[in-house]
A and B are shown apart, each in its own frame.
Chain A
Amino acid sequence: MTSPAPTAATAGAPLPAVAARDITKRYGATTALLDAGITIAQGETHALVGRNGAGKSTLVSILTGLQRADSGEVRFAGEPAPALSERDAWRRHVACVYQKSTIIPTLTVAENLYLNRQGGGLINWRSLRRRASDLLDEYGVDVDPARVAGDLTVEQRQLVEIARALSFGARFIILDEPTAQLDAAAIERLFDRMRQLRDGGVTFMFISHHLQEVYEVCQTVTVFRDARHVLTAPVADLPHDELVGAMTGDAGALLSSGASRASVSSEAPTVLAVDDLRLAGFYEGVDLSVRAGEMVGLIGSGSSGKVALAETIAGLRKADGGTVTVAGSRPKPGSVPSALAAGLGYLPQDRHREGLVPLLSVAENATLPIAGKLGPAGVIAPARRRAAAQRMIEAYDIKTSGPDQPVNALSGGNAQKVVLARALSNDPKALVMVSPTAGVDVRSKESLLGAVASAASGGTGVLVVSDELDDLRSCDRVLVMFHGRVVREVSRGWADADLIAAVEGVNAPVEGAQVQ
C-alpha cells in the first residue's frame, strides 16, 4: 500500500497523493523532525501516530505549507510542492484541521467557514450565512452560522473546523487529533463522513492518540518516535501491542495505573459536596460528594451537562440554586478565586483558552498557583522556581527543551501535561478535572493517571469528568449523568458495556430527560 513512487507517471500506477522525504526541522536546540518522511497512497486513510512531541504536528505544518522544512522535499502527486507564499496553491492540494484551533473567536461562524473566500467584490452576508448553514447541515453540525465563534463550545468549534476543512474540496485532507474533544456520536459521524469521502477517492492523513480509532478507519499506519520515522505498515498486519511498542520504543505491556489503590475508609471527611445544584438548560437537582482520598468519576454524553457541572464547581458558572461545599467551606458562587481559596484544584477542558499563559515559560505556567511558596513575601526566587518546575517536568514526563521554553512551543499533549502538573502542584483538597488526558499519548496517560491516583492516596478528593473509560478505571465509583441528572452510580469493577449503556440512557431511568 505504501509502494515507493514510480519514476515515471503512468496512468496505471498512480503516484502517491503525497510524499515527504528526508524532512528535517529544528526549533533552536529542539529537533522536531530528523530525516523523517511519509508516503501516502492515493485514496487511502493513513494514520500517523507517536508519543507527545514526536513531531506529528510539525510534519502537518510542513505538509500544509505553514512552515518550511530545514531540508527535505514534499511532493503532491509527483509534483513538487508550491512555494510557501502561494497559499492558494497549497490549499488546492491539501486541507487541514490543525491541532491548535484556527477559529477566529471574534468573527461569526459563517465568516469563519468562508474566511478569505467570501466571494469576489461586495460580500453578500445573507447568502454567505445561507451557504454556511447549508454546509453545516450537510455535516450534521447544529450551530447557528450567525453566532460569534468565540461563544461556541469546544466541541462545536471542532466540528466547525472539520466542516470547513472538508468543504474545500481538496483531495487530500489532514486531521490532526480531530477526535480529542469529540464525544462518540460526533466521532462516529466524522468517521462515516470520512468513509464516504474515501469512497469518493479522497486521501486522508489522520492523527490520533486513540489507537482503536486507527484500527477503525485507517488502512496504513506510520509511527514516528523522537523526531524519526520508525515504521510504516498496513494496519491489519500490526497488532495493538506492536504498535504501542513501536511508539514507545519498548515492548512492555501497559500498566493499569492506580487501579490497585486502597479503598477509602468511610470515616474520611467529605472534601467536595454538591447539594441540589441546578442550572437551567444544563443540569438539575444534582447531588454528589467526594471524600478525602476518594476518586469519583463523572461520565455522560455531550448533552448531559457534566462539563457545565464541573465549571460550576470551579466557579466559572453560577448555579441557579443549590450549594457547593469545598472542604467544609462554601465558596462564593461564580467566583474562581473563592473556589481556589477554599482548596479546589481545577483542570479546564479548554487548555488553550483557560489553561495556559502562552508566552510565559513552562516553569512560570507550572508554578503559577504555588508562586507564593517559592520565596519570602511574594518574591519568587528563580532558582527555586526552576527546581520546582524541573521536578514537575520529570514527574509528568513533559517533553520540553527546559523549564524556560515558552509553553506555546510545546506539542499539544505536553501542554496538557503542564496544565495537569499545575493543577496538582498546590496540593488541593479537592480536584476537579475535565478530560484530563485529551491529546495525551498512551504511555503518558499512564503516568498522568498514576500521578492523579497518588494525589488521591495522599488525601485529595478527585472528581474526574471524562468520556474516556480509561480515565475512570481507577475511580472508586463512577456517576453517570444523563440529560442533566445523575442517573446511575457504579462502583469499581464495572463492565464497559454496562457503563456505556447507562451513558446512552439505554437501561437508565429516563424520567429526568426533559431538562430545559
Chain B
Amino acid sequence: MTGSQTVAKPPAVVPPAPGARRLQLARFRDLALVPAIILLVIVGAIIDPVFLTQANITNVLQQQTELSLLVLAEAIILIAGKFDLSLESTIGLAPALAVALVIPAASNGLGTEVPVALAIPLCLLTGLAIGAFNGLLILRFKLSAFIVTLGMLIVLRGLQIGITGGQNLFDIPQSVLYLGNAVWLGLPASIWICGGLFAVGILALGFFRHGRSVYAIGGNVDAARAAGIRTDRVVWIVLMIGGLLAALAGLLMTGRLGSVASAQGDGMIFTVFAAAVIGGISLDGGKGTLFGALCGVLVLGLINNILTLGGVSAQWIQAIYGGIILVALILARVTSGKAQD
C-alpha cells in the first residue's frame, strides 16, 4: 500500500448552471433600491403637494450632499476592506482649522492670518493629511482600522474644540462660503459637485484597473498581493481620498450653514454607515457598488424629508428615523436575499 491512487471519473454532468439568469440578477441587485426610491417619491407626493416642487427636491438633494460625500468616502474605504470612523470629525476639523488659520484672532481665529486665498487648499490638505496619518497607523503599525479611526474621531474632535476654544466660527471668508452657496445652471453647485464625484467614482471603481484592485483587496488581500497589486499603497490612497472627500464635505457644509459649528458633523458617522449598508456595501469588504451607496443616501434623505413634511413632531423624529433605518436594513436584507455582513 504505497502512495495513493485516485480513480477516474466519467465525463462530467455539471448540474445546470443558471449562468445568464444569475448575471441579470446580479445587475438587478444594484438597482434594488430604485423601487424603494420611487415608492418614497409617491408617498411624499401624497402626503404633501409641496414635496414634488422643484424647490423641495433641490432642497432635499442639497441637504444630502455632505452626507453623500461622506458615504462616497466610506463606501470606497469599506470596499477596500477597511474602516474609517474619523470622517465625521474631519468634516468639522478641516474647515475649522483652515478658517481659524486665516481669520483674525478677534473672530476666534488663531491669529496667524494666513492669506485668505489659502483657506480652501488648507482645508483640503488637512483632510488629505488626516487620511494619510490614519493610513500610517493602520498600514505601517498594523493597528486595527476600527480602533485607530475611533481614536482619531475623538482626537480630531478635541483638536477642533481646542483650536476654536469650543466656539462656532462665524467670520467665514467668502471663498470658503462660495461652494456651499453658489448656483450653477439653476442647481446648487454642491449638487453638481456630488453628482460629478459619484460619476467619477462609479467609473473608476467599475471600469479602471486601479479601481477594481480596491475590490480585489477587500475580497482577499493575499490574493490581491499575489496578483501584483500594491495593496498597501492602494489602501493608503483610498484612506487619503476618504479624508479629502470629508474635508470637501466640510467646505460644502460650512458654506451652506455660513459658519463652522463646533460640533459640525457630530453623530453623522452612524447615518453614513446606515446609508452605505442599506445601499448594499458589505462591512466585510469587497462587495457593493457606489451607485448602490448613492441610492442608500437618497432613500435616507427622502425619508427624512417626508417625516418633516408629514409633520412628525421634532421630539420623535429621531426615534422614528432610526426605526425606519432598521426597517430599511431588514428590507435590504430580504430583497437582496443574502446575509448582510
Q: Which residues of A come within 8 Å of B, CB atoms?
A: 64, 66, 85, 87-88, 90-91, 96, 98, 100-107, 111, 115-123, 125, 142-144, 146-148, 179, 182-188, 209-212, 240-241, 244, 254, 256, 281-282, 299, 301-304, 437, 442, 445, 467-471, 473, 482-483, 496, 499-500, 503-505, 515-516
Contact = CB atoms under 8 A, between A and B. Distances in A.
Contacts of A179: 6
Nearest to A146: B23
Contacts of B14: 142, 303
B299 to A, nearest CB: 23
A150 to B, nearest CB: 9
Contacts of A88: 228
Given A111-B212, A118-B212, A301-B9, A244 B223 contact: no
Interface string B1-26: 11111111111111111011011001
A187 B13 contact: no
Contacts of B219: 104-107
B215 A123 contact: no
Nearest to A300: B9
B19 A147 contact: yes
B222 interface: yes
Contacts of B215: 104, 106-107
Contact of A483 (B2, B5, B13, B216): B13
Contacts of B218: 106
Contacts of B95: none
A115 B224 contact: yes
Interface string B22-45: 110010000000000000000000
B220 interface: yes
B209 interface: yes
B64 interface: no
Contact of B3 (A85, A185, A188, A211): A211
Given A66-B226, A103-B220, A105-B219, A303 B1 contact: no
A103 B227 CA distance: 10
A499 B10 contact: no
B213 interface: yes
B75 to A, nearest CB: 14
B9 A302 contact: yes
A256 B8 contact: no
A264 B229 CA distance: 57
Given A100-B222, A240-B2, A281-B16, A116 B216 contact: yes
Given A303-B13, A469-B7, A470-B4, A102 B222 contact: yes
Given A103-B220, A104-B286, A254 B2 contact: yes
**7 cross-chain pairs, A with B, having the tightest CB-CB distances, nearest first:** A301-B9, A144-B19, A87-B228, A104-B219, A106-B286, A102-B223, A211-B3
Contacts of B286: 104-107
A187 B7 CA distance: 10
Contacts of B141: none
Nearest to B22: A147
B287 interface: yes
Interface in B220-241: 220, 222-230
Interface of B: 1-17, 19-20, 22-23, 26, 206-209, 212-213, 215-216, 218-220, 222-230, 282, 285-287
Given A87-B228, A100-B222, A101-B223, A212 B212 contact: no
The A interface, classified by DSSP as helix, strand, loop or mixed, is loop
A179 B19 CA distance: 27
B231 to A, nearest CB: 10
A482 B9 CA distance: 9
A102 B216 CA distance: 10
Contacts of B12: 142, 185, 301-303
Contacts, number: 178
Given A98-B226, A104-B223, A301 B1 contact: no
A504 B1 contact: no
7 contacts: A104-B223, A106-B219, A116-B227, A119-B209, A184-B8, A301-B8, A503-B9
B7 A504 contact: yes
Contacts of A185: 8-12
Contact of A144 (B1, B17, B212, B223): B17
A482 B7 CA distance: 13
A500 B23 CA distance: 38
Nearest to A179: B6
A468 B229 contact: no
Given A123-B207, A148-B22, A256-B1, 6 more contacts: A102-B223, A102-B227, A301-B8, A302-B12, A442-B2, A468-B4
Nearest to A467: B6
Nearest to B210: A116
A211 B2 CA distance: 8
Contact of B8 (A101, A143, A500): A500
A88 to B, nearest CB: 6
Nearest to A86: B228
Contacts of B212: 107, 111, 115-116, 118, 123
A459 to B, nearest CB: 26
A499 B7 contact: yes
A508 B15 CA distance: 22
Given A104-B219, A147-B19, A470 B5 contact: yes
B205 to A, nearest CB: 11
A407 B7 CA distance: 31
A442 B3 contact: yes
Nearest to A241: B2
A297 to B, nearest CB: 12
A103 B226 CA distance: 10
B290 to A, nearest CB: 15
A503 B17 CA distance: 24
B3 A102 contact: no
B10 A303 contact: yes
B8 A503 contact: yes
Nearest to B226: A102
A241 B213 CA distance: 48
Given A120-B209, A211-B3, A105 B8 contact: no
A468 B13 CA distance: 21
Given A102-B220, A123-B207, A256-B1, A66 B9 contact: no
A104 B26 contact: no
Contacts of A147: 17, 19, 22
Contacts of B285: 106
A210 B225 CA distance: 29
B7 A104 contact: no
A442 B2 CA distance: 8
A211 B13 CA distance: 29
Contacts of B1: 254, 256, 470, 473
A54 B269 CA distance: 49
A437 B206 CA distance: 41
B340 to A, nearest CB: 14
Nearest to B225: A66
